[in-house]
Amino acid sequence: MEDFLRAAERLFAEKGYRQTTMEDIARLAEYGTGTIYRYFESKEALYGELLERKLAAYLDHLRERFDAQASPRDRLRTLVRAKMDFFRQNREFLRIFAQEFVPEATSMAAALTPEARELRERCLTMTREAIEEGMRSGEFRSADPVLVVTAISGLTNEILLRYLRAPEGEHIGEIEAFMTDFMERGLLAGERP
Amino acid sequence: MEDFLRAAERLFAEKGYRQTTMEDIARLAEYGTGTIYRYFESKEALYGELLERKLAAYLDHLRERFDAQASPRDRLRTLVRAKMDFFRQNREFLRIFAQEFVPEATSMAAALTPEARELRERCLTMTREAIEEGMRSGEFRSADPVLVVTAISGLTNEILLRYLRAPEGEHIGEIEAFMTDFMERGLLAGERP
Amino acid sequence: MEDFLRAAERLFAEKGYRQTTMEDIARLAEYGTGTIYRYFESKEALYGELLERKLAAYLDHLRERFDAQASPRDRLRTLVRAKMDFFRQNREFLRIFAQEFVPEATSMAAALTPEARELRERCLTMTREAIEEGMRSGEFRSADPVLVVTAISGLTNEILLRYLRAPEGEHIGEIEAFMTDFMERGLLAGERP
Amino acid sequence: MEDFLRAAERLFAEKGYRQTTMEDIARLAEYGTGTIYRYFESKEALYGELLERKLAAYLDHLRERFDAQASPRDRLRTLVRAKMDFFRQNREFLRIFAQEFVPEATSMAAALTPEARELRERCLTMTREAIEEGMRSGEFRSADPVLVVTAISGLTNEILLRYLRAPEGEHIGEIEAFMTDFMERGLLAGERP
DNA sequence: GATGAATGAGGTTTCATTCAT
DNA sequence: AATGAATGAAACCTCATTCAT
């Protein structure tokens, strides 16, 4: 079962949901085609299960590193670093994630399960709350928090998509520093240069 | 032929490349299925042609508004406003565009033609050159220009995806102001707050 | 389309619904497999359409010969004769019909459409009304009309199934005479022998 | 082994032969799937064995109650009552039986074993001999005995199918009385009303 | 040029049967 | 003896593409 999820993750990320066949997945997992159906009701269910598991793992990953006591700015830094770490270990998933993470979007791949929606929402909420608190405390300047979250999501997703392809470990520190810096300049209260 | 491209744009954006059938396109264009093949070799060729035309139109749109004499900061503002304008008039295309605009990405829909790749590159180059010049002139702080372009692309794409769904004209000014401000704070040289 | 219905009728009757494949039907109809789906949404829809058409034809056939003015006894005779005629010209359908004609039964083949149910009901109603009227007029002895209809249906179906296999035209007169006589003796009022 | 036959009987009757999977049967019998194959060569063999056993039980049931000394009319009455009793205790089997009992029919489920054919034949023969003797003795009027047997089979099968669904014990006496009466009126010699 | 019926390769899914444990 | 995971042939269905009209 794990075998199928692993194979599916790799192939969905590489070729997309529709272009990946159940036979592809079975072959990569080194099983017969029919075997998948002992564990998953359908291709869509397999996709759903994959998304749920990954999103749950991502949410756990974020929560583990999250420090509710920290200042909003530090929380945001932590979230960026955690996102980066997670996707360095889950490079394949990033592509799927980026597609499914536009909250209002009907994915073009397959319908998200309610559980997956819920998880996606919670991931976004962590960032949004940090931002809202920062705005209340005056540390961040005022803006529509949803707009800010959207900007940050898009920015980080795209950079990760672009740079996580690079050979392991290259510039990673710089990239993270750039993202954090860019975001903070955009967010922190104070005079514009 | 225009009819087919228009129909294809709408359907690809709505349902995705794979879920859209040639019959769907023909029906929406009010032609017979076979007729498409008088103008396009294959579904993939139709998709490629669509992308090329739209990217060319987008590039034209950017160029028309672009003022090579303006300051880098103004050029960037102009590019953001132009992007926003273009996609307000081409809402459907935005979804396709966002998917195909990650430069290194193998598209999950169909292979991009070399011409489309070229056009995509040129769009990005306009922004990159403005940024590079701004850095040289000291107006912008120093950073990897590709990283900056990627951040800006992701940020604007995601916000547009999220907000262009909104009923025509709503908040558009504010959204554009937010994007410009956020980007400029991130880019302009000077002390961080 | 007619071709497919004809082929399906023959094969469903011969081998049953489940054992008949869409490829079988296409091959017998001398078309490619996919062609069927231009005319019928699914195998089940094809089966439903077949049943509806045939039941409608059967009902028409009965109605054409039916004489509402005739005595109940004559009406019954007519119905038996009409049934026999119809199934002599629709031998293949008889097998399907016999399976689907037990009114309360969930068919084991595929779900009947509401339209088909309606038609089946109307066929049975014609007989039931003749019987009820005969009972009211005293021509027939009293009994539960539904029980009587069921008995007559089973009796005639089974005989037709058994004898319509015989080479065309053999004994047909005798068989019909037997059925009519057997039923009338069972129904007509008066002393039992 | 009995467990499997019991489970199979129930499921074949409920859902039909093809819709019932070996896994269904094993699960209901509370064994592993593979275990069935210790006792039965194949699904078809299981079906055959089930039919043979049930038909043998039915034949035994008929024979036990059968009195060769009785008058043809009483023998027929006994056979009808016996049939009714048997299927009240074997409701599930009735559906299978009704399908397989048209003697000339190629079953649509699976091929009958020669043994099963033989048993089916013997059940029919008991009725046929009673009828033939009644005709010889003049108690019954003359007709093709096979036709008569077919009529009686169809009539009783259909009524049982229709009425044995009813809650246990309801109207059973009346239904039996109706069948017996209807048949006797059809068969007994003497003036028609 | 235009059509749309026809096609068949290829996808998803089912399930009788096998076999290592 | 018993198991149940694994299998793959075969079923249903989709749809890009062709071609006779």
pLDDT tens digits, residue range C102-161?
655 556 677 788 898 899 899 999 999 999 999 998 888 888 898 899 999 999 998 888
The β-bridge partners of D170 are none
The β-bridge partners of C140 are C188
Query: Residue A184 — pLDDT band, cuts 50, 70, 90?
Result: confident
Q: A interface mutation test: which of B147, B164, B165, B181 has the most A CBs within 10 A?
A: B147
* Contacts D105 to C, Cβ<8 Å: 95, 161
Q: Which residue is nearest to nucleotide F15 (CA to C1')?
A: B21
Q: What is the pLDDT of residue A42?
A: 94
Residue C175's φ and ψ, nearest 5 degrees, are -65, -45
The reply to whether A35 has its C-beta less than 7 Å from any atom of strand F is yes
Q: What is the pLDDT of residue B21?
A: 95
**What is the domain count for chain D?**
1
> What CATH number is attached to the domain comprising C147?
1.10.357.10
Residue of chain C minimizing CA distance to D18: C18
Query: Residue A192 — pLDDT band, cuts 50, 70, 90?
Result: low
Residues in chain B, pLDDT under 70: 103-108, 166-170, 187-193
* Contacts A185 to B, Cβ<8 Å: 185-186, 192-193
Instruction: Assess whether pLDDT exceeds 70 at residue A93.
Output: yes
* Contacts A181 to B, Cβ<8 Å: 186, 192
Say which DSSP state C105 is in: P
Q: Is residue A168 part of a domain?
A: yes
DSSP calls for A93-147 = HHHHHHHHTSTTPPPSSSPPPHHHHHHHHHHHHHHHHHHHHHHHTTSBPP--HHH
Q: What is the pLDDT of residue B28?
A: 95
Nearest to C66 by CA among C86, C49, C51: C86
**Ranges A29-43, A88-102, C134-148, most confident:** A29-43
Instruction: Give chain D residues 17-36 with Cβ within 7 A of strand F.
Output: 31-35
Output the six-digit token pair for B56. 């060319």
Query: Touching check for A170 and chain B: CB below 8 Å?
Result: no
Task: Find the domain containing B104 and state its range.
Answer: 49-187
Q: What is the pLDDT of residue C105?
A: 58
Output the six-digit token pair for C82. 């009409």
Q: Is residue B37 part of a domain?
A: no
Task: Give the model confidence (pLDDT) of A50-91 as tens digits.
Answer: 999 999 999 999 999 988 888 888 999 999 999 999 998 998
Q: Distance between CA atoms of B137 and C134, rounded to whole angstroms?
A: 108
Residues in chain D, pLDDT under 50: none
Q: CA of B94 to nearest chain A CA: how many angstroms apart?
A: 12
Query: Residue A26, SS3?
Result: helix
Is D77:D89 a contact under the CB 8 Å cutoff?
Answer: no
Q: Do C16 and D109 touch (CB under 8 A)?
A: yes
Instruction: Assess whether pLDDT exceeds 90 at residue A161.
Output: no
How many Å apart are D113 CA and F1 C1'?
Answer: 28
Residue C44's φ and ψ, nearest 5 degrees, are -65, -40
Q: Is residue A44 part of a domain?
A: no
Q: What is the pLDDT of residue A185?
A: 81
Q: Is residue D7 part of a domain?
A: no
Query: Touching check for B115 and chain A: CB below 8 Å?
Result: no
Query: Touching check for C166 and chain D: CB below 8 Å?
Result: no
Q: Is residue B163 part of a domain?
A: yes
pTM of the model: 0.88
Task: Give the model confidence (pLDDT) of A109-121 as tens digits.
Answer: 777 888 988 998 9
Q: Identify how many contiguous H helices and E strands chain B contains and give both numbers.
A: 9, 0
Task: Give the model confidence (pLDDT) of C42-93 as tens digits.
Answer: 999 999 999 999 999 999 999 999 888 888 889 999 999 999 999 989 988 9
Query: Residue A106 — pLDDT band, cuts 50, 70, 90?
Result: low
Is D172:C169 a contact under the CB 8 Å cutoff?
Answer: no
Query: Touching check for D151 and chain C: CB below 8 Å?
Result: yes
Kindly state the average pLDDT of the residues C25-51: 94
Protein-covered nucleotides of chain E (CB closer than 7 Å) are 1-20
Q: What long-range pairs does B79-86 form, CB within 8 A, spacing at least 24?
A: B79/B126, B79/B127, B79/B130, B80/B156, B80/B176, B80/B179, B80/B180, B80/B183, B81/B176, B81/B180, B83/B156, B83/B160, B84/B156, B84/B160, B84/B172, B84/B175, B84/B176, B84/B179, B85/B61, B86/B57, B86/B58, B86/B61, B86/B62
Kindly state the average pLDDT of the residues A169-188: 81
Query: Touching check for A172 and chain B: CB below 8 Å?
Result: no
Q: Is residue B26 part of a domain?
A: no
The reply to whether B33 has its C-beta less than 7 Å from any atom of strand F is yes
The mean pLDDT of chain A is 87
How many Å apart are C31 CA and F20 C1'?
Answer: 16
Q: Do C102 and D178 touch (CB under 8 A)?
A: no
Q: Is residue A167 part of a domain?
A: yes
Instruction: Assess whether pLDDT exceeds 90 at residue A181.
Output: no
Nearest to D100 by CA among D121, D71, D125: D121
Task: Give the model confidence (pLDDT) of D85-116 as tens digits.
Answer: 999 889 889 888 887 877 655 666 677 888 88
Q: Distance between CA atoms of C77 and C79, rounded to whole angstroms?
A: 5
Query: Residue A164, SS3?
Result: coil
* Interface list for A 10-29 with B (CB within 8 A): 14-16, 18-19
Q: Is residue D107 part of a domain?
A: yes
